[in-house]
Amino acid sequence: MKKSVICMVVGLVLMMTACAQKTEKMATIYDFKALNNKGEQVDMAQYKGKVLMIVNTASKCGFTPQYDGLEALYKKYQDQGFVILGFPCDQFKHQEPGSDEEIAEFCRLNHGVTFPLMKKIDVFGENADPIFKYLTAQCPDEEVKGLKDKAVMKMVDSISKSEGREEGGVRWNFTKFLISKDGSVIKRFAPVVTPDELDAEIAAMLK
């Protein structure tokens, strides 16, 4: 009896140690994997040493024209180690109804997008992609500039909450997460913050 109790305690200690090690290991974005829009696995570790922007996108949103600004940033800084990853999402008023192939075609024809597009995902709720769970946990607050933009986001906030978005979750399409060269989630920008407003910040991070 005593022996079995000891074995049980040892087993629990080992299990807790393994969980702690796993939690500690999942410390940066580089520990995750994702699928691109062709269904191919992408190891985020390949972006070590680069400045990364992760954006949840949609083709039928009021913010969809931001694809142009995102592409402009990508072309300007990609040779300096800047990468944008677009993650399409259909959770906000079904503004991304197409298939992955249709989304890629729309982005190419209408906005000349060349930065990587990923497989369509959920960004909040029980089926949220692990990458977005991680990003929102690391950076639950987003930066909004100006009273007008804050008013817009207040309205958007109420809509997304009615659709089941949890506190701290992504509030709408084109939320932007900036990640430094060492994998740290530096800032989260609201959809109302346009890509060109982030130019100087990205340039500074690339130095």
Q: Is 122 buried (19+), middle (13-18) or exposed (0-12) by CB count in 10 A?
A: middle
Separation of alpha carbons 144 and 66, rounded Å: 16
Separation of alpha carbons 7 and 9, rounded Å: 5
How confident is the model at residue 199, as a pLDDT?
A: 98
Say which residues have a Cβ less than 8 Å from residue 26's Cβ, sequence separation at least 6: 134
The answer to whether 89 is a known catalytic residue is no
Token pair belonging to 47: 């972006």
For residue 188, give the CATH number of its domain: 3.40.30.10
Tens of pLDDT along 111-157? Answer: 999 999 999 999 999 999 999 999 999 999 998 877 778 888 888 77
Q: Are residues 119 and 178 in the same domain?
A: yes
pLDDT of 92 higher than 80: yes
Q: Are residues 86 and 21 in the same domain?
A: no
Tens of pLDDT along 22-69? Answer: 334 557 999 999 999 999 999 999 999 999 999 999 999 999 999 999
Q: Is 23 buried (19+), middle (13-18) or exposed (0-12) by CB count in 10 A?
A: exposed
Q: Are residues 12 and 66 in the same domain?
A: no
Q: Which of 19, 61, 89, 139 is catalytic?
A: 61
Structural domain count, the chain? 2
E strand intervals along the chain: 33-35, 41-43, 51-57, 82-88, 176-179, 185-189
Q: Are residues 157 and 186 in the same domain?
A: yes
Q: Are residues 65 and 39 in the same domain?
A: yes
> Averaged over 68-90, what is the pLDDT?
98
How confident is the model at residue 128, as a pLDDT?
A: 97
pLDDT of 166 higher than 90: no
Domain range for 103 is: 32-206
Q: Are residues 21 and 36 in the same domain?
A: no
Helices then strands (H, E): number in the chain? 6, 6
Q: Are residues 77 and 165 in the same domain?
A: yes
Q: Are residues 59 and 130 in the same domain?
A: yes
Q: Are residues 71 and 11 in the same domain?
A: no
* Average of per-residue pLDDT values in the chain: 88
pLDDT of 179 higher than 60: yes
Q: Are residues 90 and 156 in the same domain?
A: yes
Q: Are residues 102 and 133 in the same domain?
A: yes
Q: Are residues 151 and 55 in the same domain?
A: yes
pLDDT of 10 higher than 50: no
How confident is the model at residue 13, as a pLDDT?
A: 40
